[in-house]
Chains A and B, each alone.
Chain A
């Protein structure tokens, strides 16, 4: 009963925030999709943090920690803590300024206008959709797993996923960016507190940190170290993975949209500064829950370990409070999902729909398109459930793909000689090379496909730009300022 009440209250709270945001919002595409460029420090920080922390962190990472130990922390958390804030600085500042100068609302629109090329914008929309839709499915998977574990006799994974999507869609439809940013404040605080509390509770059950680590070293020494003999941690794979996980975040279209929505540079800078601290807290806790979960609940095979975080919350908090784990997963999943829905919706309405961006016609088209994106995501989730892909596998596919957009995202904002031809060549060549590597057509010598594919994308960006005519000077003046 407590569980049902808590989840209903959580959903109602989100809808109330969405409704409140809708009442205070300016009725324009910029107001709806970018909160009028007015996200302050607190809202922006949690919008970025909440958006970036998906079920990949709350379920995928404990699940991998369960099998691979502390090495999962070493592989991901440190490099993200350093490079993500640096790339937010590198991309966020010029993207925000350029979006204002060119009056852009969606990330693809920003690059289409900067490069003076509708074709480049369409290629970007296609690439963003290709990698964002599977990533959105990981959110639905997380919600489905969490709700099905919470109510095993009453709710299937599919129904749980659909329910969470429906609620996220409702508050996003109502209040746009403003609603998603403020719900992210509540969601980010919720999942951070619950994850840290869960790690503390797990350590407490094992007799405190000293005894817990001692027992871990004695019973599962393989989980205490980063063993380079494992293929995942071999030097080349480690370097490739670091490249992917570090550069991918700023290429998420939903992260770009949030950077474009910052009220000012001071708010962006604050987010960059506090990001590593919040990340260290969350990731340390997530990995410890997974690693010690392997001691407390051994025997999980394959993607079954994706459920270790809710299982540990239920075990350590007691059955009555197990709903906190479910709420944390829902919060992480929905805080990413809402941003993705909104950003894909913005690109569909501004870059694809005929007459997109027309002023003074209300927001009906935007809202219908957003609902369509939600339905498409649910359809893809159904397919993925049949194929039995894990959250970690799906996220890795998306993260590798996003990295192919990094040369375009960065060079488009910093190099005036960068052209539409360079952008298209970079994206197409990078994704082509990624596919060829994943199909086994290119020898990798221990590197992950993302490494040679990224090098190809970067090279194609430079060659394509230098081999084509520069962008018109007038457009460059508009984009970069005088």
Chain B
């Protein structure tokens, strides 16, 4: 319990997200969504990445990118939100 309080307390002192970071967050989200709706790809059962079918490899790679985005987003914006609330 103490550890949680410490971690929450530490985040209140974190710097706010910059305007550039906010822009990156929005653009990153839009790019991920556009890549998810990839209507331009033609289905090809023979296409592979190693032994993985291209369809599965593409989606797993997308999920890795989404996971990285989320990790960065929560680190920057959760901190910013906390400090903004504390500053009100």
Contact = CB atoms under 8 A, between A and B. Distances in A.
B16 interface: no
Nearest to B52: A213
| Main secondary structure on B side of the interface with A | helix
Contact of A225 (B11, B39, B55, B70): B55
A239 interface: yes
A482 B55 contact: no
A272 B78 CA distance: 11
Interface string B48-85: 10011101100110110011011101100110011000
B22 interface: no
Contacts of B67: 81, 276-277, 280
B53 A81 contact: no
Interface in A253-292: 263-267, 269, 272-273, 276-277, 280, 284
A78 B37 contact: no
B24 interface: no
Contacts of A276: 63, 66-67, 70
Q: How large is the interface on B (under 10, 10 to 19, 20 to 34, 35 or more residues)?
A: 35 or more
Contacts of A71: 55
B4 A73 contact: no
A273 B70 CA distance: 7
B62 A89 contact: no
B63 A217 contact: no
Given A213-B51, A272-B74, A221 B66 contact: no
Interface of B: 1, 4-5, 7-8, 11, 29, 32, 36-37, 39, 43-46, 48, 51-53, 55-56, 59-60, 62-63, 66-67, 69-71, 73-74, 77-78, 81-82, 88
Interface of A: 40-41, 70-71, 73-74, 77-79, 81-82, 85-86, 89, 93, 209-210, 213-214, 216-217, 221-222, 224-228, 235, 238-239, 242, 263-267, 269, 272-273, 276-277, 280, 284, 481-482
Given A82-B69, A214-B51, 4 more contacts: A82-B63, A86-B73, A224-B53, A269-B78
